């Protein structure tokens, strides 16, 4: 049904039906959760060999005792393996602790307060600086900007990535814009992959923005495809090298959604010069990362091909969950004017756009019958979705049965909110 | 020999003898290192069971899947175990990653830039704030202050801890003094243990200094005694509770020198209110610590008694190394006016004070014959020991044979520098 084309009688009949369905959900006392991109326990089981895998062999390939202090930027064999995931050279790689979010905060905190190239280049010396935030985006990126007092400017996205005309125009017009957040492959939450042309235009941004500009390239889902022929992503570091803009790039990745979400490894890829400056500050707060866990991961995967094999096992567990979400959306909302959604080929999210002004209401309706959704607005800076449309669906953690139940509820909530809105108009 | 009482002939005879000994060291092409407080590999071997100890049991006692995201302040069973080491309640405990240094930086960074109780209380709003640094102290503490632009004021120490008359007078006179660094048991580097009276006076400091004052209580060596009857330390949190000053206390500890130096756990003990504010900021940069490693540690120790048993094994490995250092100092420098040193009952360091103006020269002499010592001055803020006297000796890592060789060199370098200084006077 297209609500905009339906008669009042049709809408009222639909409303009665939807309200009775909704009442049945209420009676069912559900407790379902589609909020966060957490791996499910079958995914975690794939890496259970990690604990104990070293079998007493705590020495690195270069003789380093991984148990002891040292190795600020990580074990060489971990760099050699995971640099391939980041698309950079081993010497452009740093292997950290269990959270890439921490590396992102650190790079921005250092740039903001201590400078990207010494104190004189500190962003906070230039005034209240700004960051571009393609929307919908990742709430934890926005949280870092808020914490540091960096003003966020939303930028539109389409199926190819951020609107680069808008991005370039903004950067050209305002020298206080010091960076941009990007989740370039299977973007959080839209699931889209940046096109080659968009990647190259981003890689060149520093030519407009100047040497202190930084691209926060959070490639969290770089190898998290549901099938082998999913859309690939251009290598941003290669493109930056071509344009002489390597220093503008800060690339992040992790094994959080590959091995153990809370006990994996986080990485950073950056120019040797950027890493040198980063390590000067990093060395103030730590003597080094958990190198034992780095050796575990290297032994577990063996090589990059082993890593990709492992990702295929994740895909087997994730794909049916995403298929279920899309099936429910197709069945209940395709060929209606009640919503649009993405059909991702990888990553952790489906992004749903309702009719304007309904996202909060849909989340409220679902919550009231025991289905938790990511708060509406969370995918926008300051939690404010101006059109109140975007809802992030995260189906990785629940069982297939729970996803089916939750999506049944979700579709009815969307329909109910849409019909009510139209009747009230 | 007392160089101040020796005749010129005696000094010249000694010089000739010392120079020939020194020449023999030169010829020996040594490569020895007494610089950093790293556990030796036999110590690390004590914890080799850690990897694999979980045997596939990744669930916490409360059912938490340690492999997944979450648990910002750590696993409950880890809090219950390690709070005893910190001398606080479980709810006053946070279990972090592998570096207590990181927790220390974070608390100070937050206090300085974001405030101890919201933005209005940020230290940087009051101007260039200051920290008291009992000397000799730990260079990495001083590094954090330098990084944050916090001015450091050295404070004298004696066998009972910091000179509290001086501390109280300074705090009373200058409201920009916002904190003090303390390593209260087996202090780095002096090895002394703060007396009960000193601990209580520190616990009460906030009554003079005001509510934003923070005591950085780095209890890194709290259970690192060489024998069971080593001098105990008063419980600073109990004393703060007695005086209503709990919020001024930030207590730190770790298993860095208990299990694996680079792959252990770091802890913080603080009032529930302090932890609440800390976690607000911590939640911006991480979803949680490596809980798998926390479960490993809990299973490894079992309980606090198990932890103390484990420390006795460390003592067996460390005590002979410290005994060797002291024997060499006794043999070569006792009953002379060429130096004073501490005889610690635990910890990782022996602190040596040469005649004024000679520490740098002694370190240079040793280095020139292949014996690396901690740079002179490192134990003072800004690397500046005003009397150029203090040298930190760290005998945990080398073998006993290497310690004996290195200390033989050290003693000769002290004697040589002392005699030369006297002859040149």
The count of other CB atoms within 10 Å of the CB of residue B245 is: 23
The predicted pLDDT at position B36 comes to: 85
The pLDDT of residue A391 is: 98
CB-CB under 8 Å, B71 with A290: no
pLDDT of residue A259: 98
- For residues B279 and B94, what is the distance between their CA atoms, to the nearest angstrom? 9
d(CA A165, CA A208): 13
- What is the pLDDT at residue A48? 98
Considering the four listed CATH numbers 3.40.640.10, 3.40.50.970, 3.30.230.10, 3.10.20.30, the one that applies to the domain covering A60-302 is 3.40.640.10
Domain A8-43+308-424 falls under CATH 3.40.50.1370: no
User: Alpha-carbon distance B28 to A131, whole Å?
Assistant: 60
Task: Compute the distance between CA of residue A235 and CA of residue A186 in angstroms, rounded to an integer.
Answer: 15
Query: How far apart are the C-alpha atoms of B372 and A54, rounded to whole Å?
Result: 33
Residue in chain A closest to B103 (alpha carbons) equals A285
| Cβ–Cβ below 8 Å for B51 and A281 | no
Q: What is the pLDDT of residues B162-190, one digit of tens each?
A: 999 999 999 999 999 999 999 999 999 99
Low-confidence ranges of chain B (pLDDT < 70): none
pLDDT for residue B351: 97
Chain B residue numbers touching A260 (CB-CB < 8 A): 67-68, 292
- Residue of B72, B98, B256, B280 best to disrupt the A interface, most CBs of A under 10 A: B98
- Contact predicate B86/B93, CB 8 Å: yes
Give the domain B8-43+309-424 fold. Answer: 3.90.1150
The beta-carbon contacts of A380-383 under 8 Å, at least 24 apart in sequence, are A380/A135, A380/A136, A380/A137, A380/A142, A380/A154, A381/A133, A381/A135, A381/A137, A381/A142, A381/A145, A381/A152, A381/A153, A381/A154, A382/A142, A382/A146, A382/A152, A383/A139, A383/A142
Q: From the candidates A109, A148, A285, A298, which should be mutated to test the interface with B, based on the most B CB atoms within 10 A?
A: A285
pLDDT at B268: 98
Residues in chain A with pLDDT < 50? none
Count the neighbouring beta carbons within 10 Å of the beta carbon of residue B97. 27
Q: What is the pLDDT of residue B303?
A: 98
Q: What is the predicted pLDDT for the residue at A36? A: 85
Contacts of B36 in chain A (CB under 8 A): 69
CA nearest to B261, candidates A58, A54, A70: A70
Which pLDDT belongs to residue B14? 97
pLDDT in tens, B41-57: 999 999 999 999 999 99
Contact B87, B93 (CB under 8 A): no
Q: How does strand A32-33 pair with strand B130-135?
A: unpaired
Identify the pLDDT of residue B48. Answer: 98
| A chain contacts of residue B49, beta-carbon cutoff 8 Å | none
3.40.640.10, 3.40.50.300, 3.40.30.10, 3.40.190.10: CATH of B58-302: 3.40.640.10
Among the partner residues A39, A55, A113, nearest to B68 by beta-carbon distance? A39
State the Cα–Cα distance between residues B135 and B130, nearest whole angstrom.
Answer: 15
What gap in Å lies between CA A290 and CA A60, rounded to an integer? 13
CB pairs < 8 Å spanning A and B = 155
Can you give the pLDDT at residue B40?
A: 97
CB distance B58 to B68 below 8 Å: no
* 3 state SS of B130: strand
* Residue spans per domain, chain B: 8-43+309-424, 58-302
User: A4 to chain B nearest CA, in Å?
Assistant: 42
3-state secondary structure of B71: coil
Q: How far is CA B157 from CA A70, A106, B215, B264, B384, in A?
A: 30, 35, 16, 30, 16
Q: Is A129 exposed, middle or buried (0-12, 13-18, 19+ CB in 10 A)?
A: buried
Q: What residues of B are in contact with residue A286 (Cβ under 8 Å)? A: 98-99, 101-102
Sheet holding A214-218, edge to edge: A93-95, A266-269, A249-254, A214-218, A177-182, A130-135, A151-158, A161-162
Interface test with B, best of A263, A282, A291, A396 (most B CBs within 10 A): A263
Query: Do the beta carbons of residue B96 and residue B267 sit within 8 Å?
Result: yes
């Amino acid at each position: 049904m297209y609500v905009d084309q339906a008669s009042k009688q049709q809408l009222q009949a639909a409303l009665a039906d939807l309200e009775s369905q909704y009442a049945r959900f209420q009676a069912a006392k559900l407790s379902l959760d589609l909020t966060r991109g957490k791996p499910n326990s079958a995914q975690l089981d794939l890496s259970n060999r990690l604990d104990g895998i070293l079998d007493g062999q705590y020495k690195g390939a270069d003789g380093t005792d991984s148990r002891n202090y040292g190795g600020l930027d990580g074990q060489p064999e971990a760099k050699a393996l995971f640099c391939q995931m980041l698309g950079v050279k081993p010497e452009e790689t740093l292997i950290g602790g269990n959270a890439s979010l921490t590396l992102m905060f650190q790079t921005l905190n250092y740039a903001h307060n201590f400078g990207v190239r010494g104190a004189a280049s500190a962003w906070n010396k230039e005034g209240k600086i700004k960051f571009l935030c393609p929307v919908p985006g990742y709430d934890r990126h926005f949280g870092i900007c808020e914490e540091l007092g960096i003003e966020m400017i939303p930028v539109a996205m389409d199926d190819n990535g951020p609107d680069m005309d808008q991005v370039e125009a903004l950067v050209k017009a305002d020298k206080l814009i010091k960076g941009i957040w990007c989740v370039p492959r299977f973007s959080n939450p839209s699931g889209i992959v940046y096109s080659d042309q968009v990647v190259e235009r981003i890689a060149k941004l520093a030519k407009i923005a100047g040497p202190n500009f930084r691209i926060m390239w959070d490639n969290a889902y770089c190898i998290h495809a549901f099938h082998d022929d999913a859309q690939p992503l251009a290598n941003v570091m290669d493109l930056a090298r071509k344009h002489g803009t390597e220093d503008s790039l800060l690339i992040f990745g992790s094994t959080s959604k590959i091995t153990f979400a809370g006990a994996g490894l986080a990485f950073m890829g950056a120019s040797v010069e950027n890493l040198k400056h980063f390590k000067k500050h990093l060395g103030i707060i730590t003597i080094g990362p958990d190198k034992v866990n780095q050796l575990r991961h290297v032994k577990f995967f063996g090589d990059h091909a082993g890593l990709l094999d492992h990702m295929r096992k994740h895909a087997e567990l994730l794909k049916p969950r995403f298929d279920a979400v899309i099936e429910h959306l197709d069945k209940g909302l395709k060929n209606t004017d009640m919503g649009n959604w993405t059909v991702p080929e990888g990553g952790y999210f489906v992004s749903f756009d309702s009719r304007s002004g309904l996202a909060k209401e849909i989340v409220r309706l679902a919550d009231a019958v025991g289905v938790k959704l990511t708060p509406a607005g969370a995918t926008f800076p300051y939690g404010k979705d101006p059109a109140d449309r975007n809802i992030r669906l995260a189906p990785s953690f629940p069982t297939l049965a729970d996803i089916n139940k939750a999506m049944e509820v979700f579709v009815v909530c969307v329909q109910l909110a849409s019909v009510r809105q139209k009747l009230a108009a």
